[in-house]
Homo-oligomer: A and B are copies of this chain.
């Protein structure tokens, strides 16, 4: 059993390691050669010149300005300075609200910790149950347990303190949750209202367009909406199955990259034209002139792409039964998204179109029955994954044992039999197999979500997050408390009564406090500090830079900053909420560790997310969100904290019933009922802000816009907003400078009146250039020539 001294040493060690990470960060971040890792957004926006140009060679890689080392922690106060509205403006609402999850943790746990320490710790500490037990049975219990509920004798009246505290903590948590839900809902609505015009405000995604022998999908969509939304329908874009085209374009891009590489090489060393082999991995096969080979390959691909593009655009089979339908007003779109269109609720399904960046194109054409079957399959698969994931892993582990290897590959026998290798295999391999599985788990969950058929990246991430949380709850939380695999737990739970399950777990809870304290320090504190170092991106960037980067463009691709990673990050935070709430009444000693985690994490992520003012230009530091969902994930966050609260209440009930505080336990039954009711109340009160778009808001914005810009060409603006990225990507090839002008109207009569209110970054703005040279221009002409009402 760990004593307080042990915990203290461990805490010191972990704080030290966190500190070392922070110092390392402070040093590394001002080294020029890491510049691209820590300030990738500056480069993506083109605001920072690569420091490798000019200067002495040493200065290229090492910062020799010693003054900058003295200020090594100065990023911390800066990180906290920026006011929230500016944060939202620069980093998006998703990031700002994500940060509020940490703040929520602080708001919940700081008062709870204060009250618990002033009330529960004295109540627990002034008993001597454990001392007596220790004397009797000669078992030395950890002195942390002296602070916990274990130290209170059976049938003591002191348990009333815990019950009152359970009520107080529940009410406080619910109060904070409600305030926060209200705040976030208001922030979301304000964000949506204050936002500039975006195509998704006017657009609805229509799926499951029924097949019609006489009309094409495009005609069908147009007729349907002209009839049923006659005053509001504006235009539409059919969804094209361009997966093959996307593959070809990707291949061409790779070829072009190689070509550039060889050209650079040839420029640097004019004496010899670069040669390459054509075979497998360029390691074997006939030698050819690399530049010529690539030029011819690119040409071949170009014609192939042009053909495929033609086929895709003209072949009715490549048009999927889905479309993005745009309306004249936000009101019209809001109406269409919220209503049922036809008798058959599985046809003409309408929903808000996700942001163009947020669309997951592959899933747009899944029919209703298939979706339903997929959901069942994934549900069953996830159940097995959660409860039986140890079985395949045990199988792989058995393969990865000495005998397994010898069996599979007898020729390796002499190598494997050496002592060192043997011990490595026996000691590390099983652990590594498990670790590898856990690393790939988010990816597996993401693949499952993709198979399930969600149509936007944000919903994919949300679904993966909730699965990840469940997995963690079953396998980490329950798995740590009741040792044994999840399946064994399941089996034993099935055999226990409904009353006994909370008891079994509840009794084990206080005993595991020291384990979870250590867990918080190692996974939480040090993990968060490692996060600011961005160890993974740092390593990957330098590896890529060293081995793979051939051209400037590659370097840009290598410095992919990643996004916050909602699907893994949020469940991890939620796990700390769970620990905090469960231990708040049982072992309040754990709470300060949770608070330190939340505080540290808040500062670190705020740094990662926030913008810093430097050279009086505002740039977002590290993360580059793929999409902006407008904090659509908050209902999930709320739901999971409520779930943690209910779990903590049930476990406390279980624990108290073993303490024979029989007259006390019934008072706790009301708590989960009230908590679940509170959740339903909050859902009814606030959730719709995250799901629906109120007509009043839509009407207000429409009216405002009509008054301000009476003659805006909305059709031109929306015409090509939802075009498959492969057609966009092709534009980018043509001219890098066109990046912000991805879309081309293709119709001369649609002269757009440029306005100040247009976002130049995320929303498509029609280019004023002639798009004749752009292959994508053939698409809008062909597909949309009939979309005029």
Chain copies in the assembled complex: 2
A586 lies within 8 A of chain B by Cβ: no
Which of A239-247, A332-340, A443-451, A462-470 binds B?
A: A332-340
Of the residues B339, B345, B376, B494, contact of A499 by C-beta under 8 Å: B494
Digitize A223-234: 1 where CB-to-B-CB distance is under 8 Å, 0 elsewhere.
010011101000
**Once the chains bind, are B681 and A372 in contact (CB under 8 Å)?**
yes
A684 lies within 8 A of chain B by Cβ: yes
Q: In the complex the two chains form, what is the Cα distance from A425 to B677 in whole Å? A: 45
Digitize A487-522: 1 where CB-to-B-CB distance is under 8 Å, 0 elsewhere.
000000111111110000000000000000000000
Q: How far is the CB of A351 from the nearest CB of chain B, in Å?
A: 13
Of the residues B227, B376, B498, B689, contact of A493 by C-beta under 8 Å: B498
Q: In the complex the two chains form, what is the Cα distance from A339 to B340 in whole Å? A: 10
**A699: chain B residues within 8 A (beta carbon):** 227-228
Give the most central of A338, A498, A686: most B CB within 10 Å.
Answer: A498
Which residues of chain A (330-386) have a CB below 8 Å from chain B? Answer: 331, 334-335, 338-343, 345-346, 348, 368-369, 372, 375-376, 379-380
Of the residues B335, B345, B677, contact of A335 by C-beta under 8 Å: B335
Which residues of chain A (666-706) have a CB below 8 Å from chain B? Answer: 673-674, 677, 680-681, 684-689, 692-697, 699
A482 lies within 8 A of chain B by Cβ: no
**Once the chains bind, are A688 and B340 in contact (CB under 8 Å)?**
yes
A189 lies within 8 A of chain B by Cβ: yes
**A687: chain B residues within 8 A (beta carbon):** 345
Of the residues B228, B684, B688, contact of A695 by C-beta under 8 Å: B228
Q: In the complex the two chains form, what is the Cα distance from A89 to B522 in whole Å? A: 73
Q: How far is the CB of A204 from the nearest CB of chain B, in Å?
A: 12
Of the residues B369, B494, B677, B694, contact of A341 by C-beta under 8 Å: B694
Of the residues B339, B379, B674, contact of A692 by C-beta under 8 Å: B339
**A494: chain B residues within 8 A (beta carbon):** 497-499
**A697: chain B residues within 8 A (beta carbon):** 342-343
Question: Which residue on B lies nearest to A682, using beta carbons?
Answer: B372
**A685: chain B residues within 8 A (beta carbon):** 345-346, 368
**Once the chains bind, are A696 and B228 in contact (CB under 8 Å)?**
yes
**Once the chains bind, are A339 and B334 in contact (CB under 8 Å)?**
yes
Q: In the complex the two chains form, what is the Cα distance from A673 to B384 in whole Å? A: 14
**A696: chain B residues within 8 A (beta carbon):** 224, 227-228, 341-343, 348
Q: How far is the CB of A487 from the nearest CB of chain B, in Å?
A: 14
Q: In the complex the two chains form, what is the Cα distance from A770 to B694 in whole Å? A: 43
Q: How far is the CB of A713 from the nearest CB of chain B, in Å?
A: 23
**A674: chain B residues within 8 A (beta carbon):** 376
**A229: chain B residues within 8 A (beta carbon):** 695
Q: In the complex the two chains form, what is the Cα distance from A695 to B229 in whole Å? A: 9
Of the residues B496, B500, B689, contact of A345 by C-beta under 8 Å: B689
Q: In the complex the two chains form, what is the Cα distance from A15 to B697 in whole Å? A: 66
Give the most central of A368, A493, A684: most B CB within 10 Å.
Answer: A684
Question: Which residue on B lies nearest to A692, using beta carbons?
Answer: B340
Q: How far is the CB of A430 from the nearest CB of chain B, in Å?
A: 29
**A339: chain B residues within 8 A (beta carbon):** 334-335, 338-339, 692, 694-695
**A346: chain B residues within 8 A (beta carbon):** 684-685
**A228: chain B residues within 8 A (beta carbon):** 331, 695-696, 699
Q: How far is the CB of A564 from the nearest CB of chain B, in Å?
A: 27
CB<8 Å pairs between A and B, sample of 7? A227-B696, A342-B696, A345-B689, A372-B680, A376-B677, A493-B498, A497-B497
Contacts A345-B684, A497-B497, A497-B498 given; 10 further ones with Cβ under 8 A? Answer: A227-B696, A228-B331, A334-B339, A340-B693, A341-B695, A342-B695, A343-B689, A345-B692, A494-B499, A495-B497
A residues near B, CB below 8 A? 189, 224, 227-229, 231, 331, 334-335, 338-343, 345-346, 348, 368-369, 372, 375-376, 379-380, 493-500, 673-674, 677, 680-681, 684-689, 692-697, 699
Top 4 A-B residue pairs of the complex, sorted by shortest distance between their CB atoms: A345-B688, A340-B692, A338-B339, A342-B696
